[in-house]
Amino acid sequence: MTHMNEPHITTYLRAYSARRRCSANHKGNMRNAARYLERYEEYVGHNIDSKDFDYLCIESFFAYMRQNYDLRHNTIIKIAQTIVACVNRMRKEGIQVGRDYEDFPLKEEEVTTVALSDEEIERVYNLKLSKKSAIIRDLFVFACETGLRYSDLIALQDDNIRDGILTVRTSKTGALVCIPLRRRARQIIVKHGGVVKYKDSQTNFNRCVKTLCRKAGITEKVLCEYTRGTRFVRRSIPKYKLVSSHTGRRSFATNAYFAGIPTVRIMLITGHKTEQAFFRYIRVGKKENAKALSELPFFK
């Protein structure tokens, strides 16, 4: 199948998403990007061929998205990045494309994320729950204790654990990590007679985890700032509403850091390549930082 006579980006996006071996989520992202680009084509009155896709084109598309859709800035960025990746693929296949489109800054806003303290995790751990909710709770706490991504968490097998050490090759990077199991993780393994088995969706998992954190009293307000469409939004929302499956991973990294474990050792588990990336990842508030510093001899 050749695309040399099919220079329309939307045509290529749909064809590529249909034939490429990738996750359903990624295929959906490509189809979604094609839909928005088609709406933009209707807006400007002509199709966008690959040769037309240059700096001014993506700048115009980005402005159109901001002015016409009430989407978060990062959502628009991801749509634009998907289109840019498509055009890059077209160029590699010998199709003529525009110039300088990669110079347009597609920078994501820093998202407000949270981590749970050890004390908050303990409160979630001690909740009295139904069997179904307890499975999700135990899986979430296990993530907080190990720093595993959701995809690795639900794929765990009993033979991943030997003598209190969890060994797994992560699905995202292929890195082999070895994690000593903390108290709550060990207790969860004993309770379930092995790793926790969860068969429902990640969407349901995230919804339930928010409810569990609300029940555990994790309701302090967190200031969130972001751009939606052309508006800058500033609002305070309860912390539990920001909790998701990935919060477990952030909580592990943050709590390990506050416990005084050298960052290089934590990074061997989380997979961060640089300390700069690691410190962007963990959640260290100014108050928590000051409290940790106050325990050092320098401040005594």
Query: Tens of pLDDT along 150-181?
Result: 999 999 999 999 999 999 998 888 889 999 99
Q: What's the CA gap between 156 and 126, in Å, rounded?
A: 24
- Lowest model confidence (mean pLDDT) among 151-160, 185-194, 254-263: 254-263
Is the pLDDT score of 37 beyond 90?
yes
Q: What's the CA gap between 229 and 226, in Å, rounded?
A: 10
Q: Per residue in 242-255, is it b (16+ CB within 10 Å) or e — as a string?
A: bbbbebbbbbbbbb
pLDDT at 6: 52
What are the tokens at 226?
A: 């972001």
Q: How confident is the model at residue 185 (pLDDT cuts 50, 70, 90)?
A: very high
Q: How confident is the model at residue 293 (pLDDT cuts 50, 70, 90)?
A: confident
Q: How confident is the model at residue 271 (pLDDT cuts 50, 70, 90)?
A: confident
Give the pLDDT confidence of 214-240 residue by residue, as tens digits.
999 999 999 999 999 999 999 999 999
Asked if 93 and 3 touch (Cβ cutoff 8 Å), the reply is yes
Look up tokens 């909580």; give the residue: 251
Q: What's the CA gap between 152 and 150, in Å, rounded?
A: 5
Asked if 213 and 248 touch (Cβ cutoff 8 Å), the reply is no
Is the pLDDT score of 1 beyond 70?
no
Residue among 169, 132, 124, 125 at smallest CA distance from 151 = 169
Asked if 169 and 197 touch (Cβ cutoff 8 Å), the reply is no
Q: What is the CA radius of gyration of the chain?
A: 23
pLDDT > 70: percent of the chain: 94
Q: How confident is the model at residue 132 (pLDDT cuts 50, 70, 90)?
A: very high
What are the tokens at 281?
A: 């990842």
pTM for this one?
0.79
Is the pLDDT score of 62 beyond 50?
yes
pLDDT at 180: 95
pLDDT at 2: 41
- For the CA atoms of 202, 20, 62, 96, the dihedral, rounded to the nearest 10 degrees, stands at 170
Q: What's the CA gap between 36 and 76, in Å, rounded?
A: 10
Q: What's the CA gap between 132 and 292, in Å, rounded?
A: 37
